[in-house]
Amino acid sequence: MRALIGGVGPNWQLRDIDAPSQLGAIRIQVMAAGLNRADLYALDGTYTANSQQAGEYTAGMEVAGVVEISSPLAPHLPAGTRVMGITIGAFADYALCDPRLVVPIPEKLSFEAAATLPVGLITEHDALVSQAGFTEGKSVLIVGGTSAIGLIGIQLAKALGASTVIATTTSENKRSALTAAGADVTVDTSAEHLSAAVSAATNGDGVDITLDHVGGELFADLPAATAVGGTIVSIGRLAGAATSLDLDTIAFRRQRLLGTTFSIRTRSELADVVAALTPRALPAVAAGKVTPRLDGVYSPDQADQAAQRLRENAAVGKIVLSFADAHTGPVPAPTPKANMFGTIRQLGYVVRDIEASMRGFVDCGIGPWFYLEGIQPGNFTYRGRPSAMAMNVAVANSGTIQIELIQPVDDEPSMYKDFLDAGNEGLQHVAYWSENYQDLYDRALAAGFTVGQEGEIGGPTGRFAYLETEHHPGTVIEISDLGGSKKFVFDLIELAAANWDGTNPIQVIDPALLSGDPAAMEEMKAALG
């Protein structure tokens, strides 16, 4: 996929990289991505998001697109859902998103329009409502109102019931944009004194809440423009981070001065910020009370031009990068795969010392264990090639769930060896059992799964296959034939666990049992009473 890579100089580099994947995340086809000041600061090395990797990184933090791969953590966002939100790595054909940080796009919005909203909505709603405690009827001052975020702040304040919204610009030519966004009063701070203009518009009281996106020298005038008991929230510092304040004014007016940023917030904290939009902010968007302000749309190879326009403060509204040309096929459709297998019947652990592992489970009250040494599956293949892999295997039940322990005993290739070689030990697969194995096998392949390894234990009715489903080692799906003698053996193991009194915790069993040998089966049945 295409991606704009930062951390390599003063500009992004457009490269082809592997599409990302991560267990629990949703992957979206990126249709459009919003360009923000923080993206430019990240290029300069002065801004690093809490979850952004060090060194080179895929740029972008504001995204709109279509869910391609859904997450079991978000059943309300199936494949094909149009979503918008915040993430790391938005400037690419595909992006991974924490499902808590995206929301469905209202029906009437285009992807380009939707990409203008997420950062502005969460920034302004969090500052205005969550931080400053806005309630209907209060007056609001938006400093830096013609920024993409500021234009959303104006609309949001009006949609939530502000009595008066005052907004500033430094350009007379941009004043009309403030009025179009819903500002009741506009102030050109390059030609007018801010606190005097605000005082005149509020009968000398000042505003209840000031949201500042500018900082710098102008910040010194904000306490005088804010009412007694009012709140000033510092959001952005376009004019610089340094200022001087008359602390007497803040003290005499009993004002609160708050700072806010998202760069150091955890994903859980950000999830709370996004969730807070649901009661009123998102309905305001759906109702058309908060509408996108789109300055222009650029292709990925025009990203430097887009960045320069933002640096020059030439934009009125949000600049968007379009990645839609990478997604001209049909819209992804939900393709459930996990439910096709039925119920998880077994948890499979791959371990280095199987006897120590059995003792550990016994200490936890799980047993008795049925232990087979040196088992070599028949017709075993790994990645389609024959392998002479041999293993020690032990099984026991915890309630209706079977626990399986596997220890490879040679260096022949297998997914078990891969797991251990990667430095892992523990849960390696979950298993589903079927008395109609071939049908399940065929349906799994038809659904797009591929086989990593397969074989049989105890003959043709003891087939098994491990599917290539892991996003990281340890999430493999096994399907197993429950035909032949296997069901008989597994039922006895479950029965043994239900009636276990703690004695004889580890029992070595005859491998002939797995092939359905009548004498071996009768011997085990008699041993279990």
Contact 64, 28 (CB under 8 A): no
First to last CA, the chain: 61
The whole-number pLDDT of residue 528 equals 56
CB 351 within 8 A of CB 425: yes
pTM of the model: 0.67
The reported pLDDT for the residue numbered 521 is 58
The parts of the chain modelled with pLDDT lower than 70 are 49-53, 335-339, 470-474, 512-529
CA atoms of 320 and 306, how far apart (whole Å): 8
Residue 49 is predicted with a pLDDT of 66
Residue the block writes with tokens 């502000």: 162
3-state helix, strand, coil in the chain (%, to 5): 30, 30, 40
Closest to 502 measured CA to CA, from 400, 395, 364: 364
State residue 220 phi and psi, 5-degree precision.
-60, -25
Q: Report all structural domains of the chain as residue ranges with CATH numbers, in order of start.
A: 2-116+294-326 (3.90.180.10), 121-259 (3.90.180.10), 338-523 (3.10.180.10)
Per-residue pLDDT tens digits for 87-100: 999 999 999 999 99
Residue whose C-alpha is closest to residue 189's, from 204, 175, 203: 175
Two structure tokens written together for 371: 């232990």
**Structure confidence at residue 514 (pLDDT):** 66
- Quick one: CA dihedral 429, 432, 435, 441, positive or negative? negative
pLDDT of residue 487: 84
Q: pLDDT tens, 318-365?
A: 999 999 999 999 988 876 545 678 889 999 999 999 999 999 999 999
CA distance 232 to 250: 10
